[in-house]
Amino acid sequence: MYDVVGVGIGPFNLSLAALADGVADPGLRGLFLDAKPAFSWHPGLLLDGTTLQVPFLADLVTMADPTSRWSFLNYLRAHDRMFPFFFSERFHIPRREYDHYCRWVAENLPSCRFDARVTEVAWDGTSDAFAVTYRSSAGEVARVWTRRIVLGVGTEPVVPEPLRALLDSAYEGARAGAHGGAHEGAQGSAHEGRVLHSADYRTHRARLAGLDDVTVVGAGQSGAEVALDLLRHQDGTGAGGPYVRWLARTPAFAPMEYSKIGLEHFTPDYIRYFRALPEERRERLVREQWQLYKGVSEETLAEIHDELYERTIGGTEPRAALQPGVAIEGARAESAADGGGYVLTCRHTEQDKVFEVRTAAIVSATGYAAARPDFLDALAKLVDWDDRGRYRIDGEYRVSLDPTVTGALYVQNAELHTHGVGAPDLTLGAWRAATILNAVAGRTVLRVPERAAWTTFGVPGGST
């Protein structure tokens, strides 16, 4: 019997595991499970030169407990990198370094167990606890019990409807190439890595760089980084490497909101304000605030501009096109006789005109969304889902369950609809983990601030 079991070991549940590691008197017995063989964080986008979009202080613990031994600064000390980091004067660290830091924490926390795929979470009324069943890649099955579950299973890649069939066929072809006969293998090698989500970009990067035309879809940071990386694969004259086309539904390739006051949307103050709004207003706000969490860093946009500028030296035209305000309405694969590429049917949303794009490959950098994991099927009837099949979540990140369930189910990064744009942001990760930890422990283990913003969201208290 454990006090808490976490399912999924991404940064958010890893933050909870790290903060719980220092709990004593009485101790908190925790177990965190993940199907992967080891920690990894967005491996498909760990490109050289890419950085976190949040300062290094938004590590696993510092915003809740700067004295923790699992801080990023202590990681630097453990790896004899404190002086180099100091001299580098970095506030935003390389993404690869953040991944390595998290891996260091995960490998050293005794509560983290990898190669443990959770297959079922069920309420056991006899034991008055959740029964959590998990399996290793070798087929070994184990079961543990707990009164508190924290879901940190992350989000899944989202692909626009017109591209899904192409994406599925591309991956089916890849699987056929890996497992099938000669004919299937040929089909697999032809399709593999030609239509993909940006989550898999690094795996297929070399193949894409060798094509003559690649289309990137999506105006967020991932789309910008993929487009920039492909531009850098062009040679100095612009003749070699792929033609790079960057399409986006948004009206502009806009920078992410990064003003000091604007960032106060990523505070507990704004979460409390957002949670109190009517549901229909919350839905509208999330759509309207896309630049708070779906924009591109100014640095990346500047680098793309600089790459294009370099291509115009000597009067040449850059082999690239940046097209915002474009919605993809259809997609089809061409036959080998027609070139074997893909045709996208697009609509310019402001001009309301339709046009077609022919391309050799498509990278869908269209983000991620929370999804209901299969292992919750046994518990699904006991969850109080909202009208759209999403969790109802309270201020302590507890999911609303049937009254017969006396245990507690918590979620991390599945509450965009109830808590606002800060749900996927690393800035609030340690604060949210501390909030859950206090709820799990039934006492204040870590003090969380009552107020963190200068901004007053909503009507000020006591005003007329």
Per-residue model confidence as pLDDT tens digits over 276-312:
999 999 999 999 998 898 889 999 999 999 999 998 8
**Is the same domain home to 331 and 391?**
no
Is residue 18 one of the residues assigned to a domain? yes
- Out of 364, 385, 407, pick the residue that ends a domain: 364
24 and 152 co-located in one domain: yes
Same domain, 175 and 250: yes
This prediction has a pTM of 0.91
Find the largest Cα–Cα distance for the chain. Answer: 78
Total domains in the chain come to 2
203 with 72, same domain: the answer is no
> For 377-398, what is the mean pLDDT?
96
What is the rounded distance in angstroms from the CA atom of residue 33 to the CA atom of residue 109? 12
193 vs 187: CA distance, rounded Å = 12
Helix and strand totals (H; E) in the chain: 14, 18
Q: Say what the pLDDT of residue 239 is.
A: 65
Q: Comparing C-alpha atoms, which of 435, 379, 374 is closest to residue 405? A: 379
Contact 134, 7 (CB under 8 A): no
Return the CATH number at 20: 3.50.50.60
pLDDT of residue 338: 75
- Among residues 29, 148, 151, the alpha carbon closest in space to that of 405 is found at 148
Angle between helices 161-179 and 182-191 (to 10 degrees): 140
SS3 239: coil
Same domain, yes or no: 416 and 316: no
- Cβ contacts of 102-105, under 8 Å, gap ≥ 24: 102/11, 102/14, 102/39, 102/41, 102/60, 103/38, 103/39, 103/40, 104/75, 104/78, 104/79, 105/14, 105/18, 105/60, 105/70, 105/75
User: Is residue 167 located within the same domain as residue 116?
Assistant: no
Confidence of residue 175 (pLDDT cuts 50, 70, 90): very low
Q: Is residue 103 located within the same domain as residue 143?
A: yes
Phi, psi of 311 (to 5 degrees): -70, -20
Weakest-pLDDT range from 33-47, 67-81, 226-240: 226-240
pLDDT (tens digit, 9 = 90+) per residue, 419-444?
999 999 999 999 999 999 999 999 99
Tell me, yes or no, whether 101 and 217 share the same domain. no
pLDDT of 169 > 70? The answer is no
pLDDT at 193: 61
Q: Residue 313: pLDDT above 60?
A: yes
Q: Which of 174-188, 209-223, 244-258 has the lowest mean pLDDT?
A: 174-188
- Residues of 354-368 as b/e, b for ≥16 C-beta within 10 angstroms? eeebebbbbbbbbbb
- Quote the tokens at residue 57: 């202080």
- Model pLDDT for residues 74-118, shown as the tens digit of each residue: 999 999 999 999 999 999 999 999 999 999 999 999 999 999 999
Q: Is the pLDDT of residue 328 over 90?
A: yes
Query: Rounded mean pLDDT of 113-130?
Result: 97
395 class by beta-carbon count within 10 Å (0-12 exposed, 13-18 middle, 19+ buried): middle
**Within this chain, do residues 132 and 78 fall inside the same structural domain, yes or no?**
yes
Bridge partners, 343 (sequence order): 332, 358
Residue 339's pLDDT is what? 75
Domain that holds residue 359: 161-181+189-256+294-364
Q: Domain check: are 214 and 354 in the same one?
A: yes
Residue 59 lies in a domain: yes
